[in-house]
Chains A and B, each alone.
Chain A
């Protein structure tokens, strides 16, 4: 297994090189002037031909392609991703500031799906019948056909437009005053739900939760359908295996047959799907946050894209791609830990 993990780790630099190279290729589609604009925060400098000429040379933006790549990666290593016009601060600062906001949304979307979705999938496989089977299938197909942005708009329409329960944004104005300018509120984790509990401020906690419910539903409804379906079919297949029949005929009680014998094997493919699901959510946050004006990274990236703020969009893509590469690595390694066939093969 160690050999497998080492082999997988050796691949990491190759993939990271490829990812940065590909992003640099896209970056190079821009003219040197446009590329310069991603680093400069003062529009006057860009209008001055001499100053911009000097800066293009300073940032090596007109160098031959391989050299340009090396200088660009060197700037990346110093976290110099350029200037975000959409956020009016350096791109890296914007990422650091907004990442906890997105993380809070993703965590609350992923954990219930994995815990409850798998549990429901196992239950529905054990009480196998055709009607449940068919309805899960139909729900999954319909859910898959319903784009996130339309589903999100309907949620917004019903729960905010008509009922007025779940407002967009991240916090109400009064809560913002407490969290961002209040003297007695300490931000430990920048996850507002957790910070407010640590500060013992229940009203802020409830307000944050109220703003989170709609984006969570929107971000995770597809995952619910797909995870439930994959767990169920995998469990059904396992329950038909010979070793399960052997266990039953030896008189093992039904509870341990399901939870000790079957579940372990049935959940192996679920690990991959859950990993891919989390990755899919990373793409989903762009849409979800835009629909609910939830001020995380996705909302920032979408705003930046509309304003042709290339620095922010590229920085955002680079950051998400890095997370995805590390996430894939984690899935592969955990796969090796769970499944002896991968470990030895």
Chain B
């Protein structure tokens, strides 16, 4: 463990990843200071104008909206959209800052939950073997028969809009990889003498799995999990982009990019005038995912130099 940490910090690529991640952690923690919320639900992106067109960086909040906040007794601490606004006046800067919290929430909750399901199914499958293994692995195969994005899209469509629905869909179709990895590790670990010793002592199966096998086999799954956080955030953003994810105006990066699709080409004769609608949200998503991938890539090298080439 110590060796792993030292390697993570001595490797240039993973060091960049760690610094990037730290940057996002700071933004997420200090979101209320960086972009003070104007409504009771901080994930409601404030609108700077009612105009249907995007507004350029530095656009000041329009007077009539300011007036509404004044009468509501809210103090408007900042009055410029420094990254501009999406169509409908949604402030890009605010959505990106609070969207960082959304991204961490999606990444960590979906990966942790699907990892737990995967660990449960994979370890039972490997430990008991026989028909239990056969049945559980066929079920895993069935879940793997769907393209991930398509499966997540259909389940989200059926469940309805909202971030919680997106996360349920991502967890439902995201656990199979972990199950397979932990199954492989436990299959080889369960032949070792310490497991036999535990069995000979009459320790219950559940305790052997939980206290003896899992601590010795869980590391590869944790590595896989850290690498999946990025792709989970991408998939959630993709669902928002397709219009089945977060509801309109929710502080979410994918939501911002989905606005941008309509504006990216610009008005005739003014090609690229709305560049900021996709540039800033795009940069945030790419850097966030890149951070996790850089760390994950190094972790994988440490874990198994033979896997170096696989992606």
Q: CB within 8 Å of B: which residues of A?
A: 11, 14-15, 18-19, 22-23, 26-27, 29-30, 137-138, 140-142, 144-150, 153-154, 156-157, 160-162, 164, 225-226, 229-230, 232-234, 236-237, 273, 279-280, 282-284, 286-287, 290-291, 301-302, 305-306, 308, 310, 313-314, 316-317, 320-321, 324-325, 328
A157–B293 CB distance below 8 A: no
Q: Mark B48-81, 1 if CB is under 8 A from A, else 0.
A: 0000000000000000000000000000000000
Q: What's the A-B contact tally at a CB cutoff of 8 Å? A: 164
Known contacts A157-B275, A282-B150, A305-B244; A328 and B290 CB within 8 A of each other: no
**Complex contacts, A316 vs chain B, CB 8 Å:** 150, 154
Q: Is the CB of B272 within 8 A of A153?
A: no
Cβ-neighbour of A230 out of B148, B244, B260, B310 (below 8 A): B310
Query: Cβ of B5 < 8 Å from any Cβ of A?
Result: no
Partner of A313, one of B157, B243, B286: B157
Contacts of B306 in A (CB 8 A): 237
Given A15-B141, A26-B158, A160-B265 in contact, is the A141-B285 Cβ separation under 8 Å?
Answer: no
Q: Given A26-B158, A150-B286, A161-B271, does the pair A324, B146 have CB atoms closer than 8 Å?
A: yes
Chain A nearest Cβ from B99, distance in angstroms: 14
Q: Kindly report which residue of chain B lies nearest to residue A134, judged by CB atoms.
A: B13
Could you say which of B138, B154, B159, B272 has the most chain A C-beta atoms within 10 Å of its C-beta?
B154
Contact yes or no, B238 A317, CB < 8 A: no
Q: Mark B146-165, 1 if CB is under 8 A from A, else 0.
A: 11111101111111000000
Question: Which residues on B are within 8 Å of A, measured CB to CB?
Answer: 13, 138-139, 141-143, 145-151, 153-159, 230, 234, 237-238, 241-244, 257, 260-261, 264-266, 271-272, 275, 278, 282, 285-286, 289-290, 293-294, 297, 306, 308-311
A284–B149 Cα gap in the complex (Å)?
A: 8
Report how far A200 CA is from B306 CA in the complex, Å.
Answer: 52
**Is there an interface contact between A233 and B308, defined as CB atoms closer than 8 Å?**
yes
Which residue in B234, B261, B309 is a CB contact (below 8 Å) of A229? Answer: B309
Distance A4 CA – B142 CA, assembled complex (angstroms): 20
